[in-house]
Amino acid sequence: MILEHLSLLNYKNIEQAQLTLSPNVNCLIGANGQGKTNVLDAIYFLSFGKSATALTDGACIRHEAEFMMLQGKYRTALNEEEEISCGIKRGQRKRMRRNDKEYKRLSEHVGVIPLVMLSPADEQLVSGGSEERRRFMDTVLSQVSPCYLEALIRYNKSLQQRNAMLKQEDEPDAQLFEVLEEMMSIDADVIYKERQQFVADFIPIFQKMYARFCNAAVEEVSIIYDTHATRGELLPMLVRDRVKERIVGHTLHGPHKDNLELLMNGHNVRREASQGQTKTFFIAMKLAQFLYLKSVGEHRTPILLLDDIFDKLDAGRVACIVDYVSGDDFEQIFITDTNREHLDSILAATHRDYRLFEVKRGEVALLENHSANSSLATLDDSESYVSTSQAN
């Protein structure tokens, strides 16, 4: 899937943008806080129907505005055109459309535009709590399995309702407990099975990816799926521990307690790995996520977003990543960085089309436009820059 044209209106600090993009490599250079990450976040929003960083949809609207609008024009591997748009007005629900047809449910859109985003925040995959690793599994599986996404949505709604009942001072309705717990058990079974298969398929991809960036003979890495499914069917456990859960005020069993145990040489990476090993670990996990999504189904190469990932990496790892992402495994890539040298090394290594933009105070200007076959036209002024208010 290729994003050919991106339009932004009042998105975070970007007042207006009309960007025509390279089908291969798009680089954005700029100091921190200028808005380059917001461009990537807009692309993420068009894939998932939400921001990668903002906690609420309203936070994506520029401070001085009452609404925001995003529009992406894509071309599939089968040379078909797709148009995705999203609009939000303050105090109203967002509206997402595909080819001018509004979605009834946002879940119908997830997976249509496969995408992987890698940023420094992904270090939380290793150093953060179990919820970060569950979110990793959910993000991957939601893009390839509508059944998983629907089961996950239903389970989380039932879990929220059950937890609210557990906190009630009065004795909750026993029949309602029974209905919720039976629904949770059915959906949990789907979630468990999908996660189990994903981890089994993902581990060898991840191990090969990690080996690209380190001495595989010295560092042996693996992942273990630590799941409550090994304890048996969920329903009997929910019924058995209802009284105990009324005391603590939340549900103690289920897929919301699952975890991924990340191992290096048989030890927990979170406790044993160096800073460099931790960075290599999470970068390898995210790039392996890309290859996994690419391998599931035909004509589904994800868009790859790399947001300031070279910051604080040693020269060896930077060179290795540059060499890899310049290869043929990838299709369309978006890269942001504060260091022009990093981007120049990537552009010098690639034989493919690229466009280089500078982002300053929310304004995006085209610096370089290179076509491997010299067929790309030079952007006119309306396509090469945006003007906006001060950055957030």
CATH code of the domain covering residue 81: 3.40.50.300
Contacts of 368 (CB under 8 A, 6+ apart): 347, 354, 355, 356
> Residues 137, 107: one domain?
no
Residue 116's pLDDT is what? 96
217/279 same-domain check: yes
In a domain, 123, yes or no: no
In this structure, are 268 and 352 located in the same domain?
A: no
Count of CB atoms situated within 10 Å of the CB of 102: 9
For 71-83, the DSSP string reads: EEEEE-TTS-EEE
Helix (H) or strand (E) holding 212: helix 174-212
Domain-embedded: residue 120: no
Residue 122 belongs to some domain of the structure = no
Q: Count CA within 13 A, CB hemisphere, residue 35.
A: 28
Burial readout 19-48 (b: 16 or more C-beta within 10 A, e: otherwise):
bbbbbbbbbbbbeeebbbbbbbbbbbbbbb
Whole-number Å distance between alpha carbons of 119 and 282:
10
Cα dihedral sign, 91-158-144-201: positive
For residue 156, give the CATH number of its domain: 1.20.1050.90
Q: Is the domain of 41 the same as that of 142? A: no
Output the pLDDT for position 287: 94
Q: Are residues 277 and 159 in the same domain?
A: yes
Last residue in a domain, options 299, 317, 350: 299
Mean pLDDT by 10 residues, the chain (392 residues): 95 92 93 92 96 92 94 93 96 93 93 94 93 96 96 97 93 91 97 97 95 74 94 94 94 96 92 84 94 86 91 72 77 90 79 88 84 47 36 39
Residue where a domain stops, chosen among 271, 299, 327: 299
CA distance 121 to 128: 10
How many domains does the chain contain in total?
2
Coil, strand or helix at 6? strand
On whether both 65 and 7 belong to a single domain, the answer is yes
pLDDT at site 241: 94
Indicate whether 267 and 328 sit together in one domain: no
Residue 208 forms part of a structural domain = yes
pLDDT value of residue 373: 57
How far is CA 266 from each of CA 220, 327, 344, rounded to the nearest angstrom? 8, 32, 39
Taking alpha carbons only, the member of 385, 372, 386 closest to residue 23 is 372
Please check whether residue 338 lies inside any domain of the structure. Answer: yes
- Going by C-alpha positions, the residue among 195, 194, 206, 196 that lies closest to residue 291 is 206
Domain presence at residue 153: yes
**pLDDT given for residue 388 in this prediction:** 38
Q: Is residue 223 part of a domain?
A: yes
| 29 and 51 co-located in one domain | yes
* Interstrand relation of 333-337 and 303-307 (parallel, antiparallel or unpaired): parallel
The residue out of 299, 319, 335 marking a domain boundary is 299
pLDDT at residue 312, as a whole number? 65
Q: How far apart are CA 85 and CA 101, in angstroms?
A: 10
Specify the pLDDT at position 378. 38
Are 15 and 76 in the same domain? yes
Question: Does 352 reside within a domain?
Answer: yes
Supply the range of the domain harboring residue 336.
Answer: 1-114+301-392
- pTM score above 0.75: yes
- Indicate if 107 and 192 belong to the same structural domain: no
| Residues 276 and 326 grouped into a single domain | no
Same domain as 46, residue 1: yes
